[in-house]
Amino acid sequence: MRIEFTSEGGIAHFPGLSRPLVIDAPDLSAEESAELARLLEGARFFELPRSVGTPPRGAADYRRYTIDVDDDGRQHTVTLVDPVADSGLQQLLRFLQTKARALRRGERSP
């Protein structure tokens, strides 16, 4: 499984931090890989429309997340807009944000 995760926008937007990050399942620990698969399934990721959520009219500084998943021939891209209401998507997003921070710091899974 390969995931490309991008985060854009927000009040303190830094373009360097919005570059896509790649998360490859083989680079994750067995526990993290299983958790990621569980979160994708729980969010029903491959059943989602290409875009989820819209900021209120006239709203500014909302964050937008793009999640592109390629898993054994299944490929799907979803763009989420804050606020993310679905709890399954919130959990997936938190996982990806945590991994993105670790990758930016150069950390690897055990």
In the sheet that holds 74-81, the strands lie side by side as 21-24, 2-9, 63-71, 74-81, 51-52
Q: Where are the domains of the chain?
A: 2-54+62-104
Q: Does the predicted TM-score (pTM) go above 0.75?
A: yes
pLDDT recorded at residue 17: 55
Check whether 22 has a pLDDT greater than 70: yes
The residue-averaged pLDDT of 25-43 equals 95
pLDDT, tens only, 67-105:
999 998 999 999 999 889 999 999 999 999 999 888 877
**Is 109 buried (19+), middle (13-18) or exposed (0-12) by CB count in 10 A?**
middle
pLDDT recorded at residue 108: 56
Q: Considering the chain, what percentage of its residues have pLDDT values greater than 70?
A: 85
Check whether 49 has a pLDDT greater than 90: yes
pLDDT recorded at residue 110: 45
Check whether 11 has a pLDDT greater than 60: no
Strand partners, 21: 5
